[in-house]
Amino acid sequence: MKKKLKLLLELIESYQATDVHFTLQNKRLYVRIRGIYGIQEVEHKFLDESLFHYLKFTANLDLGNSLLPQSGNFSYVYKQKELQFRFSYLRTMQLQTGVLRILNNHQAFAIEDLTKEEAQVAIFYDWLKRSSGLILLSGPTGAGKTTTLHALLEALALQENKHVITLEDPIEIQSNTYLQLQINEKIDFTYEEGIKQILRHDPDVIMIGEIRDGKTAKQLITAALSGHLVLSTIHAKSCKDVIKRMLDFGVSVLDLKETLFGLSSQRIYKAKDEERRICIYELMEEQDIQILLEGGLLDETYQTMEDKIRLAQQRNWIS
């Protein structure tokens, strides 16, 4: 079975993949890979039912409770590098599904490498000059939010000399320049408990991997109001929708007006005529955030994500 796993890793490498989706139905395994060309269905002889069951076993899932949603982690040395994986499993009466995510194959980027727009690089650096407040990043799965977050954190730790602590589930990019904590709900180390512990360690900057509920959202607001710079991600389609999501989580307009000063929404595309990916950003600064929170309309010169995508196409950056 290790040979099949190695073949799978070779396939992942060739697609520059971040996730592999498995569906087992009637003893047949269907596989889709999320890579540089988006999600693509793949077929190979080694992609069979036995590989799917091997991944469940290797991830230490409770095979006796297969009806329960589960996830587990494992590591594997590939080309002299130890890779970390998470395998998530769901089952219905008709089929079994799994998603294999590669956790530590992200390439580290400097802020200058994140975007081809110099004005956006300047905006990122302006955000890092703030001593307190809230920066939120949004975008779909696989859009590069984690890469953006850690580029900002590296700059904060190295260039701004800030004491940075992160709380992540899982840790996808490992760094030696700041303290990273891993969520572990089995021992009750949740986001809520982790935030309490972080605040006792005198941080300048706090990064929470994802805002998943109202309790976490309100804790981040409290941290930002108490003099910390806070960064996190949230699932939303656009910068404007990030504000709506935070309000849906029960955060007040007043608290957002006092803390939220930077919003980012991003998408990732294959570069035109190049075997690499380009990230397209919509960035919203404090002035526009305040306008929306006061119920106003953005100026017609404001560029949405759709505008940014069209601009990238016109510049022949993406297809």
Taking the chain (319 residues) in runs of 10, the rounded mean pLDDT of each run is 92 89 96 87 95 95 87 89 91 93 76 95 97 96 89 95 93 88 86 90 95 93 96 96 97 98 94 83 98 96 97 92
pLDDT score at 106: 63
Question: Given this model, what pLDDT does residue 26 score?
Answer: 93
What does the alpha-carbon distance between residue 153 and residue 166 come to, in Å, rounded to a whole number? 9
- Residue 222: what pLDDT? 93
Going from the C-alpha of 306 to that of each of 11, 243, 280, 282, 310, the distances in angstroms are 32, 18, 10, 9, 6
* Contact (Cβ atoms closer than 8 angstroms) between residue 240 and residue 270: no
Q: Look at residue 105 in the predicted model and tell me its pLDDT.
A: 64
Which pLDDT value is given to residue 107?
Answer: 66
Residues of the chain with CATH 3.40.50.300: 111-314
Amino acid at the residue 207:
M
Q: Give the whole-angstrom CA distance, residue 218 versus residue 269.
A: 33
Which architecture does CATH list for 111-314?
A: 3-Layer(aba) Sandwich (3.40)
Quick one: CATH architecture of 2-102?
A: 2-Layer Sandwich (3.30)
pTM to 2 decimals? 0.82
Alpha-carbon dihedral sign for residues 244, 248, 253, 259: negative
| CB count in 10 Å sphere of residue 224 | 23
pLDDT of residue 213: 93
Strand 70-78, strand 81-91: pairing? antiparallel
| CATH 3.30.450.90 domain range(s) in the chain | 2-102
Q: At what angle do helices 49-58 and 2-15 cross, to 10 degrees?
A: 100
